[in-house]
């Protein structure tokens, strides 16, 4: 399952990190949610800024607890990713693109990386906080 393509440039293994967390296995609904995020946000962003690296995507409850994620994290649903552009010079461009994207539910920035979430079943909130993670 790990080699499953979610979109043209993104694969499931980038989102689940089973090398580090072997039991971090998504359901088919989680995979569908990640595919939605790839198609609606990450692929369009990649066209603007070039390759995007996924630091964290889907997390089961154990992994989420281990990394200090909040109890209601969209990572648990396969509806979020912590990302950065391969080229650090493209960071602000990535932020600007995602901030303007109609499918962005939540955008929180850290030091050189950002948290992006999507909501396939509800109206996106467009909640944006720059410098949220210090």
Alpha-carbon distance 73 to 85, whole Å?
A: 22
Give the side-chain half-sphere CA count within 13 A for 40. Answer: 20
Dihedral (Cα; 104, 106, 111, 112), 10-degree rounding: -20
In a domain, 1, yes or no: no
Whether 7 is covered by a domain: the verdict is no
- Residue at 24 is within a domain: yes
For the chain, the average pLDDT equals: 94
Is 72 in contact with 91 (CB distance < 8 Å)?
no
Q: What is the pLDDT of residue 96?
A: 97
Does residue 42 form part of some domain? yes
Range of the domain at 34: 12-129
- pLDDT band at 134, cuts 50/70/90? low
Indicate the number of domains in the chain. Answer: 1
Question: pTM, whole model, 2 decimals?
Answer: 0.93
CA nearest neighbour of 31 among 51, 56, 74, 1: 1
């Amino acid at each position: 399952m790990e080699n499953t393509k979610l979109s043209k440039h993104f694969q499931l293994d980038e989102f689940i990190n089973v090398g580090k967390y072997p039991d971090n296995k998504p359901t088919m609904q989680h995979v569908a949610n990640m595919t939605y995020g790839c198609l609606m946000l990450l692929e369009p962003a990649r066209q603007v800024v070039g390759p995007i690296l996924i630091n964290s995507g889907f997390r089961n409850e154990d992994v989420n607890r281990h990394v200090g994620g909040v109890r209601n994290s969209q990572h648990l649903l396969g509806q979020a990713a912590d990302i950065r552009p391969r080229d650090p010079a493209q960071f602000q461009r990535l932020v600007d693109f995602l901030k303007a994207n109609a499918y962005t539910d939540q955008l929180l920035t850290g030091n050189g990386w950002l948290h992006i979430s999507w909501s396939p079943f509800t109206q996106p909130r467009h909640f944006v906080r720059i410098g949220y993670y210090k």
